[in-house]
């Protein structure tokens, strides 16, 4: 048996475990597909072929020896290049970080994926230092949308979106500070999980905004998302924000019915500044789930504003010394945003953090009466690469500033979200399935149910 | 003609030893205007004096 391009992680792991396919064959298939298509997609910045083959051979040897193997045995995966990969400098989309010494040890999440049998095949393109919603990168070139290579992948985990959307690998890992998992999932037509803040360890990944940074998986099905997520859970003393909660596996709960869940559509702010495609996508999902209630999240616009202020000030603080010493080695657009962030008066950042506490309490109240909120993942389908403005109801709006307007008020307080792909024509678009803190299981369950109903699916890549 | 924020940009640039070349100034100013506009939106929201910030966030 050979690995087909769109084979799921679950399918590969099952075939490998049943000895119908070797881990090496699965790995070679991914490497061949990367070689065939990544010249166009530009999703990979590093392909770790030797390492991947060695890992795959070790898994095949374990199987031959009758040793136990993990639930992801033989599944190829790749990571945004802000994850430490032993032997590579962690570039985080930048020119500056290429001068760092190679990482000595993999990020915790890579170690956990490989402990479950997955095979790392490379590192992925991203927006510089994750301060990006487009997937464009001045140093490495843009990652390209697998459904139309003249369009954006979304960012900042653009390579992750492109690699999974283009079926180069079934699973990728990325980061989400303000929407960087959910936006590429939406534009590239795939599933993405931004877990609860603090759920998955960020140890040995390059930070952006410590109080907003999350890591999580991308996949082509809800089951694969759950498989990867379950493999990566668990406390980690090396990330001070990582929860001490024990493992809470989601895979066994995935097929539980959703009829008992109280599901509502986010109204007000989340229904403004959206293109008809986003309205249609939310409507299809809501209809399939029988969700008729609409709930207004109070002060969502202000939450987005506060997230913006925290992002720009914390981001500036992180990069202050690099801005002083190597300003000309930044992407000029990122540099100028960060310099401006350094100039925001401190009381505004403090008030944004205080507002965050207030807003969190409002959402906690809402989640007493609902289990799930539905909202657009992006206001539009993937814009053209380099596109500066879009026209909405006769009003010209800047693309960059508006891509993340629906994701920012949610990650601001760390809620878990699964972005599900609605396969509209000609381009897919995502919907956020938002759950209460620590209830990733519920968001994944809803995503799985929608997939079984045929309402959401990762479309075959049409641009390659 | 100098823009209203230019003196402020010069002062913070000096205080933080953060270089701002003339060519970057329009973009820095534009970004700062956005940040201040959004910051004002947060500032306008009345909060009790006892409100704790959430710099280490717990969901």
Please state the ipTM of this predicted complex. Answer: 0.94
Tokens of residue A229, six digits: 């997520």
How many domains does one find in chain B?
Answer: 1
Pairwise CA distance, residues A59 & A65, whole Å = 10
Query: Which pLDDT does position B58 carry in this prediction?
Result: 66
Whether A49 has its CB under 8 Å from any CB of chain B: the answer is no
Q: Please, are residues A458 and A190 in contact by the beta-carbon 8 Å criterion?
A: yes
Query: Which pLDDT does position B1 carry in this prediction?
Result: 53
For residue A435, which residues of chain B lie inside 8 Å, CB to CB? Answer: none
Whether A285 has its CB under 8 Å from any CB of chain B: the answer is no
Cβ–Cβ gap A339/B58 under 8 Å: no
Q: Please, are residues A323 and A338 in contact by the beta-carbon 8 Å criterion?
A: yes
Q: Which of A3, A43, A80, A162 is catalytic?
A: A80
Cβ–Cβ gap A356/B16 under 8 Å: no
Q: Which of A43, A180, A205, A411 is catalytic?
A: A180
Please identify which residue in the block is written with the tokens 């913070």.
B12
Q: Please, are residues A432 and A403 in contact by the beta-carbon 8 Å criterion?
A: no
**Helix/strand number for chain A, H first, E second:** 14, 13
**What range defines the domain where residue A397 resides?**
9-303+344-452
Q: Is residue B28 part of a domain?
A: yes
For residue A241, which residues of chain B lie inside 8 Å, CB to CB? Answer: 56-57
Pairwise CA distance, residues A145 & A130, whole Å = 18
Q: With bands split at pLDDT 50, 70 and 90, how would you rate the model's confidence at B55?
A: low
Q: Is residue B30 part of a domain?
A: yes
Q: Where are the alpha helices (DSSP H) in A65-107?
A: none
Tokens of residue A82, six digits: 């802000």
Tokens of residue A241, six digits: 């924000």
DSSP β-bridge partners for residue A192: A218, A419
Q: Is residue B50 part of a domain?
A: no
Q: Is residue A223 part of a domain?
A: yes
Q: Is residue B55 part of a domain?
A: no
DSSP β-bridge partners for residue A205: A83
How many domains does one find in chain A?
Answer: 1
For residue B20, which residues of chain A lie inside 8 Å, CB to CB? Answer: 339
- What are the C-alpha distances in Å from A427 to residues A64, A84, A245, A380, A459? 44, 33, 39, 10, 9
Tokens of residue A97, six digits: 């970080």
Q: Is residue A92 part of a domain?
A: yes
Q: Is residue A334 part of a domain?
A: no
Pairwise CA distance, residues B16 & B11, whole Å = 9
Q: Is residue A462 part of a domain?
A: no
Report the CATH number at residue A28.
3.90.1300.10
Query: Which pLDDT does position A390 carry in this prediction?
Result: 87
Active site residue A180: yes
- Can you give the pLDDT of all 464 residues of chain A as single tens digits? 777 778 999 999 999 999 999 999 999 999 999 999 999 999 999 999 999 999 999 999 999 999 999 999 999 999 999 999 999 999 999 999 999 999 999 999 999 999 999 999 999 999 999 999 999 999 999 999 999 999 999 999 999 999 999 999 999 999 999 999 999 999 999 999 999 999 999 999 999 999 999 999 999 999 999 999 999 999 999 999 999 999 999 999 999 999 999 999 999 999 998 999 999 999 999 999 999 999 999 999 999 999 999 999 999 999 999 999 999 999 999 999 999 999 999 999 999 999 999 999 999 999 999 999 999 999 999 999 999 998 877 788 889 889 999 999 999 999 999 999 999 999 999 999 999 999 999 999 999 999 999 999 999 999 88
Q: How many whole angstroms from its chain centre is CA A139?
A: 21
Q: Which one of B31, B53, B54 has the shortest CB-CB distance to A340?
A: B31
**What range defines the domain where residue B21 resides?**
11-40
C-alpha gyration radius of chain A: 20
Query: Which pLDDT does position A294 carry in this prediction?
Result: 98
Cβ–Cβ gap B53/A437 under 8 Å: no
Q: With bands split at pLDDT 50, 70 and 90, how would you rate the model's confidence at B53?
A: confident
Pairwise CA distance, residues A413 & A407, whole Å = 11
Q: How many CB pairs under 8 A join A and B?
A: 129
Burial of residue A421, with CB atoms counted within 10 A of its CB: 0-12 exposed, 13-18 middle, 19 or more buried: buried
Pairwise CA distance, residues A377 & A278, whole Å = 8
DSSP category for residue A431: E
Segment holding A113, helix H or strand E? helix A108-115
DSSP category for residue A394: T
Contacts (Cβ under 8 Å, ≥6 apart) of A389: A396, A397, A398, A399
Q: Please, are residues A163 and A188 in contact by the beta-carbon 8 Å criterion?
A: no
Pairwise CA distance, residues A81 & A174, whole Å = 9
Q: Where are the alpha helices (DSSP H) in A264-331?
A: 276-289, 300-325
Give the dihedral of Cα atoms A9, A230, A243, A438; nearest 10 deg: 100
Pairwise CA distance, residues A182 & A184, whole Å = 6
Pairwise CA distance, residues A268 & A263, whole Å = 16
Give one word for A325, left, alpha or beta, with left for phi > 0 and alpha for psi -120 to 50.
alpha
Pairwise CA distance, residues A174 & A198, whole Å = 15
Report the length, in residues, of chain A.
464
């Amino acid at each position: 048996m050979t690995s087909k391009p769109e084979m799921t992680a679950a399918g590969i792991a099952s075939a490998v475990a049943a000895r119908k396919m070797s881990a090496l064959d699965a790995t070679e298939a991914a490497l061949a597909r990367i070689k065939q298509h990544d010249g166009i997609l530009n999703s990979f910045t590093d392909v770790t072929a030797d390492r991947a083959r060695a890992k795959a051979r070790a898994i095949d040897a374990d199987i031959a020896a009758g040793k136990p193997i993990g639930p992801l045995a033989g599944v190829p995966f790749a990571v945004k290049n802000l994850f430490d990969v032993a032997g590579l400098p962690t570039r985080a989309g930048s020119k500056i970080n290429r001068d760092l010494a190679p990482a000595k040890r993999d990020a915790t999440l890579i170690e956990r994926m490989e402990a479950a049998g997955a095979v790392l095949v490379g590192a992925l393109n991203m927006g510089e230092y994750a301060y990006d919603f487009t997937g464009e990168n001045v140093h490495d070139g843009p990652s390209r949308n697998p459904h139309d290579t003249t369009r954006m992948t979304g960012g900042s985990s653009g390579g992750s979106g492109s690699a999974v959307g283009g079926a180069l690998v079934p699973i990728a890992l990325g980061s989400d500070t303000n929407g960087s998992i959910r936006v590429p999932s939406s534009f590239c037509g795939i599933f993405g999980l931004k877990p609860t803040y603090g759920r998955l360890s960020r140890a040995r990944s390059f930070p952006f905004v410590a109080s907003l940074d999350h890591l999580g998986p991308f996949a082509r099905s809800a089951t694969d998302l759950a498989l990867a997520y379950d493999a990566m859970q668990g406390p980690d003393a090396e990330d001070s924000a990582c929860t001490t909660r024990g493992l809470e596996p989601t895979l066994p709960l995935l097929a539980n019915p959703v009829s008992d869940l109280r599901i509502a559509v986010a109204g007000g702010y989340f229904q403004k500044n959206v293109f008809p495609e986003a309205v249609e996508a939310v409507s299809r999902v809501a209809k399939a789930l029988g969700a008729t209630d609409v709930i207004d999240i109070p002060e969502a616009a202000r939450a987005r504003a506060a997230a913006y202020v925290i992002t720009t000030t914390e981001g500036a603080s992180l990069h202050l010394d690099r801005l002083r010493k190597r300003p000309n080695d930044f992407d000029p657009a990122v540099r100028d945003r960060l310099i401006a962030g350094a100039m925001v008066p401190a009381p505004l950042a403090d008030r944004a953090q205080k507002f965050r506490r207030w807003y969190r309490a409002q959402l906690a109240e809402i989640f007493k009466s609902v289990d799930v909120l539905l909202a657009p993942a992006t206001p539009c389908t993937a814009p053209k690469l380099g596109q500066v403005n879009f026209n909405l109801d006769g009003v010209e709006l800047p693309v960059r500033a508006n891509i993340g307007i629906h994701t920012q008020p949610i990650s601001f307080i760390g809620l878990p979200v699964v972005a599900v792909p609605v396969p509209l024509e000609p381009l897919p678009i995502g919907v956020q399935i938002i759950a209460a803190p620590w209830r990733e299981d519920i968001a994944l369950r809803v995503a799985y149910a929608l997939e079984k109903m045929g309402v959401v699916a990762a479309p075959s890549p049409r641009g390659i | 003609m100098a823009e209203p924020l230019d003196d402020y940009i010069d002062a913070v640039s000096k205080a933080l030893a953060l270089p701002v070349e003339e060519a970057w100034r329009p973009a820095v100013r534009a970004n700062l205007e956005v940040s201040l506009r959004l910051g004002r939106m947060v500032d306008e929201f009345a909060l009790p004096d006892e409100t704790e910030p959430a710099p280490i966030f717990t969901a």
